[in-house]
Amino acid sequence: MDLDVQALWHRYADAPDTSTREQLILHYAPLVKYVAGRVAVGMPANVEHADLVSYGIFGLMDAIEKFDVSKGFKFETYAITRIKGAIIDELRSVDWVPRSVRSKARKLENAMQQLESDLHRSPSEEELAEELGWTIDELQETLAKVSMTSMAALDEVLDVGEGDRISLVDTLQDLHTILPEESYDDVETKQMLRHAMTRLTEREQTVLGLYYFEGMTLSQIGDVLGVTESRICQIHTKAVLSLRAKLVAQVQ
């Protein structure tokens, strides 16, 4: 951490005041733009990047107020989760997704869970379309639309029994950073997710790895795999739904 920034943190920890907080907000503002840019990938054209940034600022402010510099964790890692959460919460509150898309998303997820249970593997698009009574084109069109509602698909909260709730992203391991919450992570849940990921197709694993661990955009992943960005959106959405179905099946 930069010495000047470290001094700001210690000053804020000793005596929180508006002036010091504003200096910290200004210093970390680029982090909000970075997270907003990641969330914006695949968003409808009517969702303004500037709006996402403004939502994220509230998350940054929350992170600054709750961060404990004495624990020695990297603030950027901690703040990203808070900023992303604030953006997602606000997007959900305005509920820009059409009811018909939400309805199809539920049908798609239910069909995925049923086929995962019956086949003990990830269903192909053909099997999924047959289960739903849709054509392949209808399925792919729906996956593309659902991807717009799943810009933070791995942030969805799941019930894992006995009152415990987790989000998929919190169970994914990033070898390059240490989260403050890591000491409280559920080891068994991580093992479940790792096992579930090995049962995805090779292409689905590649897309998730490049997107969540390498920080690549869907467009960049499309260039690497030689397919369109919309096709990557479909693969990403199907992979996340499949992971959810596998986790649900394992905890039931």
The stretch 82-86 carries a mean pLDDT of: 91
Render pLDDT for 155-169 as a digit per residue (tens, 0 to 9).
444 443 445 444 544
- pLDDT greater than 80 at residue 8: yes
Count up the domains in the chain and report the number: 2
Q: What pLDDT was estimated at residue 160?
A: 39
Considering the chain, what is the average pLDDT of its residues?
77
Is 149 in contact with 101 (CB distance < 8 Å)? Answer: yes
Q: What pLDDT was estimated at residue 131?
A: 93
**136 and 166, same domain (yes or no):** yes
**65 and 132, same domain (yes or no):** no
Residues 51, 54, 60, 61: is their CA dihedral positive or negative?
A: negative
End-to-end CA distance of the chain: 44
Q: 165 forms bridges with which residues in the sheet?
A: 159
Is 112 in contact with 128 (CB distance < 8 Å)? Answer: yes
**Of 94, 125, 144, the domain-final residue:** 94
Confidence category of residue 151, pLDDT binned at 50, 70, 90: very low
- The owner of tokens 């047959």 is 130
- pLDDT greater than 50 at residue 183: no
Distance CA 112, CA 128 (A): 7
Residue 250: exposure state from Cβ atoms within 10 A (0-12, 13-18, ≥19):
middle
**149 and 227, same domain (yes or no):** yes
**136 and 219, same domain (yes or no):** yes
Domain of 150, CATH number, reads: 1.20.140
Enclosing domain of residue 157: 99-251
Q: What pLDDT was estimated at residue 225?
A: 92
Domain of 65, CATH number, reads: 1.10.1740.10
**233 and 122, same domain (yes or no):** yes
User: What tokens were used for 41?
Assistant: 């990938």
**118 and 90, same domain (yes or no):** no
Strand 157-159, strand 165-167: pairing: antiparallel
Confidence category of residue 216, pLDDT binned at 50, 70, 90: confident
